[in-house]
Amino acid sequence: MGNKIQQKRVSKTILAHIAVILIGCAVSFTSCTSKSGNKAGERPHTTFIPVAPDYNDSTMWYTVDGDSLSTGADIFYVVSTWEEDWENAEGDTCHYADVWNPVHRERMLREISQVGAYMSPGNRFFSPYYRHTTIDAFLTLNEDSIRNRVRLAMDDVCAAFDHFLSQRDNSRPLIIAGFSQGGIAVVELLKHMSDETYRKLVAAYVLGYKVTPEDTLQTRHIKAAQGETDTGVTICYNTVKDVKYVKPIISATCMGINPVNWRTDDTPAILHDTITVALSPEYHVLVVSGYSGSEYHPYKNLINVGDIHSCEPWLYSECLQQNISVRTKAWRKQFETEHASDIPEKQ
């Protein structure tokens, strides 16, 4: 991205691991009138959409260059959901985060900087701020409602990704990753990217969200990971305490892999000496024992109730960091082998 995107240092004091913050902020933007009825003389209730991000503006990005040896990958990370529906000073409702609001940006930064702390070493890390839809869309438990609401958010992510591609060194390997709503974005980016971009893809990491059969039919770029070193693949996982806690809206997925032992069968793996992680081949989710996840409080009976949704980027962070390195090396080795004939012989 060169000088067009300003690099920022990873904060070492960020503490939040929670996927949703409950707060309303007063900001005014252009509004559009809703169709809800109002009494005579009353101001019509309106909803509004925040101003779109400008990805030529370096403040719309969080970046870390940890690849001083130029042997790593470019990582494009998409943050999860951090806002509820909120109102501006005029009482207009907004269903999206506002990238120009410093409070909203700070909450997104909490997650981005923590993920960047373990993904950026040896790599170049890029994460855009975007108008992610609020948690309220997911509380409807309605697929159509969610799909309609996230469309604007996904448009932002695709615009950011296109800008990122136009600025980066195209010879470098590529990784895309995202958590929760960011996982939706990863799936959409796989559909959005060209075949040429896909050829640079080391892996796509869908953390804490699903990949559906319909998704796999919409693009050839979604290929389930089968092990630790395959490239051009999609890594998808969701964590529950029991399969009865699978949330159809979030984790009813058609693929899954254990990020501790990189198996797709039910072979258990031990994490941090006390936690057992095993994949359910039937439900494609991780079933954990020996871990309470008590630091992740239940939220409106949607997340952290029998599942451990909010732990997805953190519980397996060491495994993910190592796997990013392993797959990147595998991609580079394969690329060198395929292009060995392109290197001119020394005279």
Predicted confidence (pLDDT) at residue 119 exceeds the cutoff of 50: yes
Residue 24 has a pLDDT of 33
Residue 21 has a pLDDT of 34
Residue 51 has a pLDDT of 97
| Tokens 């969080």, located at residue | 62
Predicted confidence (pLDDT) at residue 7 exceeds the cutoff of 70: no
Predicted confidence (pLDDT) at residue 172 exceeds the cutoff of 80: yes
Question: Which carries the bigger pLDDT value, residue 339 or residue 30?
Answer: 339
Predicted confidence (pLDDT) at residue 346 exceeds the cutoff of 90: no
**Distance between CA 190 and CA 213 in Å, rounded?**
14
> Which range, of 38-47, 70-79, 134-143, 273-282, averages the lowest pLDDT?
38-47
Q: What is the CA radius of gyration of the chain?
A: 21
Predicted confidence (pLDDT) at residue 30 exceeds the cutoff of 70: no
Mean pLDDT of the region 110-116: 98
Joined together, the tokens standing for residue 261 give 């032992």
Strand order in the sheet with 93-94: 31-33, 46-48, 93-94, 86-87
Residue 340 has a pLDDT of 79
**How far are the Cα atoms of 32, 33, 39, 44 from residue 36, in angstroms, in the given order?**
12, 9, 10, 8
Question: Which carries the bigger pLDDT value, residue 340 or residue 301?
Answer: 301
User: Taking every pair of C-alpha atoms in the chain, what is the biggest distance, in angstroms?
Assistant: 88
Residues 12-21 have pLDDT tens digits of 333 334 333 3
Q: Which residues pair with 201 in a beta bridge?
A: 174
Residues 226-263 have pLDDT tens digits of 999 999 999 999 999 999 999 999 999 999 999 999 99
In this structure, what DSSP letter does residue 99 have? Answer: T
Closest to 164 measured CA to CA, from 193, 121, 202: 193
Predicted confidence (pLDDT) at residue 281 exceeds the cutoff of 50: yes
Closest to 19 measured CA to CA, from 337, 238, 313, 317: 313
Mean pLDDT of the region 262-271: 98
Contacts with 26 (C-beta within 8 Å, 6 or more apart), sequence order: 87, 88, 89
**How far are the Cα atoms of 31, 98, 104, 121, 134 from residue 59, in angstroms, in the given order?**
24, 13, 13, 22, 22
Mean pLDDT of the region 301-322: 96
Mean pLDDT of the region 140-144: 96
Predicted confidence (pLDDT) at residue 78 exceeds the cutoff of 90: yes
**Distance between CA 179 and CA 201 in Å, rounded?**
18
Question: Which carries the bigger pLDDT value, residue 7 or residue 48?
Answer: 48
Residue 343 has a pLDDT of 54
Predicted confidence (pLDDT) at residue 82 exceeds the cutoff of 60: yes
> Which range, of 4-13, 65-74, 255-264, 309-318, averages the lowest pLDDT?
4-13
Contacts with 292 (C-beta within 8 Å, 6 or more apart), sequence order: none
**3-state DSSP call for residue 163?**
helix
Joined together, the tokens standing for residue 187 give 């799936």
Residues 307-316 have pLDDT tens digits of 999 999 999 9
Residue 339 has a pLDDT of 81
Mean pLDDT (the chain, rounded):
88
Predicted confidence (pLDDT) at residue 67 exceeds the cutoff of 80: yes
Residue 89 has a pLDDT of 86
Q: If pLDDT is split at 50, 70 and 90, which confidence band does 38 have?
A: very low
* Cβ proximity of 118 and 320 under 8 Å: yes
**In the chain, pLDDT over 90 holds for what percent of residues?**
81
Mean pLDDT of the region 119-134: 98
